[in-house]
Amino acid sequence: MRVLVTGGAGFIGSHVVEALRASGHEPLVYDVREDPGADVRNPASVARALAGVDAVCHQAAMVGLGNGVADAAEYVSRNDLGTAVLVAAMAEAGVRRLVLAGSMVVYGEGRYACPRHGVVRPGPRSVADLDAGRFEPLCPRCGAELSPGLVDENAPADPRNVYATTKLAQEHLAAAWARSTGGSAVSLRYHNVYGPRMPRDTPYAGVASFFRSALARGEAPRVFEDGRQRRDFVHVRDVAEANVAALEAETAPGVLTAYNTGSGEPRTVGELAHALAAACGGPEPVVTGEYRLGDVRHITADSSRLRSALGWKPQVGFAEGMREFAADASA
């Protein structure tokens, strides 16, 4: 297939390009990093890029938690307007296959069980609780402690910040395009992606990047909250292979299918910080008790649907991936 990869010069996109090429496809990079005119919000530019294309792998996005709502307009412009322009141009060009870089942030908090009330959905954590160091969500019905679990694709969406809201809107736009055109749309809901070429030292970088940057400066990684918040850290090459699997799969026309894309091995943020510190030979992490409004406590994936439906499984283990990431000098 001839595949247009928006954001193809970026962190994840560049690995997707490599994986597509290795699988015998012809990837075409569309990215403002390589061509200032390659802006996914530009209808004429996107229309030209789609000429002769069989499928689109849409990686271009503004990512990360950002700065509260101060940059909300920029997020909406880059993520949602950009996606709207893209799917409109795809409809006009007759391109009927789309793989979207989705995100686990659409779920908000992860899956929790109360010993008395079963599966519940706690609301956003209060400033008063966070200031007091009470980081764990409680049962909204009885106030009991909750047990976190894996969230699957059937969980209701509950975006808790601007970025998460734009990622959910991208899925709705892709679903509308699929219904209108009979196209095939897949959203890969990435969990915490890390690996070579991950950007560093920006407000939008992931926690792994922040920790590595601190260690490169000889400083201790600063771990927010108590370090026990759970995430699923998945290697970028595994994510790239998931994109190839989604592009090659026979998927239902006229609908959007979502797949969690994670390692299946929940880890705490504290574990991540200690693993990187050990791999870098740097100082031990410092747990600060600080927090960011809009962060969720626990969010970890059940990626069994992706494994069973598309035959994908992660290949890079946590310890191996952390050693490689610590040694990476390409960012």
Mapping DSSP to helix (H, G, I), strand (E, B) and coil, where does residue 86 land?
helix
CA distance 287 to 38: 42
| 6, containing H or E segment | strand 2-6
| 264, containing H or E segment | none
List CB contacts of 38: < 8 A, sequence separation 6 or more. Answer: 30, 31, 32, 45, 49
Tokens 């109360």 sit at which residue?
A: 114
CA distance 239 to 234: 7
Short-list 310, 262, 311, 301, CA closest to 152: 301
Short-list 49, 80, 52, 89, CA closest to 183: 89
Contact 248, 318 (CB under 8 A): no
List CB contacts of 206: < 8 A, sequence separation 6 or more. Answer: 64, 192, 193, 194, 198
Cα 270 versus chain centre, distance: 20
Name the β-bridge partners of 103.
Answer: 190
Q: What is the DSSP string of 168-232?
A: HHHHHHHHHHHHHHT-EEEEEEE-EEE-TT---SSTT--HHHHHHHHHHTT---EE-TTS--EE-
Catalytic machinery residues:
163
CA distance 282 to 215: 6
CA distance 272 to 16: 24
